[in-house]
Amino acid sequence: QVQLVESGGGLVQPGGSLRLSCATSGSIRSIVSMAWYRQAPGKQRDLVASITSGGRTMYPDSVKGRFTISRDHAKNRVDLQMNSLKPEDTAVYYCYIVTTRENSWGQGTQVTVSS
C-alpha cells in the first residue's frame, strides 16, 4: 500500500509563496497520476493541480498561472509551488496518487494566507 506524507504548509502573507512536497513510500506500481487537492472549512475538497505519468498538467482557473505542480520521477515525489497566494487559498492541502492498483490520500497539510 502506498503512503503519502505532505510537508511545507504554514502561515504566509498575501502575495507570498509556499512550496508543498508530497513524499511517497511503500509498494508503488505504475503511477497513473498525482495531484493536489484542497479543502477549506465547510467546503468540498477541490482539485488544485494534477500531473499524469506523461507529464501533462492541469489546473483550475482559480490557481492557473500562480501554482505549478512538478514531479520527481526518481523519488516518486510531487511538489506544488504556490505563488501570489491569496486569503482564499487558505485550506488543508492533500496529496493524491492514482496507480494501476490503488488510489491513496495523504493526511494533509494546513496552508493559511493571512496578514
Give pLDDT tens digits for 79-108: 999 999 999 999 999 999 999 888 999 999
Written as one string, the DSSP assignment of 45-96 is: -EEEEEEETT--EE--TTTTTTEEEEEETTTTEEEEEE-S--GGG-EEEEEE
Write down the pLDDT at residue 110.
98
Instruction: Please say whether the beta carbons of 67 and 79 come within 8 A.
Output: no
Write down the pLDDT at residue 114.
97
**Which residue type is seen at 114?**
S
Residue listed under C-alpha cell 487558505: 90
pLDDT score of 78 more than 80? yes
At residue 76 the predicted structure's pLDDT band, cuts being 50, 70 and 90, is confident
List the end-to-end C-alpha distance of the chain, in Å, as a whole number: 40
Give pLDDT tens digits for 22-72: 999 876 778 899 999 999 999 999 999 999 989 999 999 999 999 999 998
Q: What are the backbone dihedrals phi and psi of residue 87, each rounded to the nearest 5 degrees, phi first?
A: -55, -35
Cα–Cα dist 27/90, whole Å: 32
Write down the pLDDT at residue 25.
84
pLDDT score of 111 more than 90? yes
At residue 73 the predicted structure's pLDDT band, cuts being 50, 70 and 90, is confident
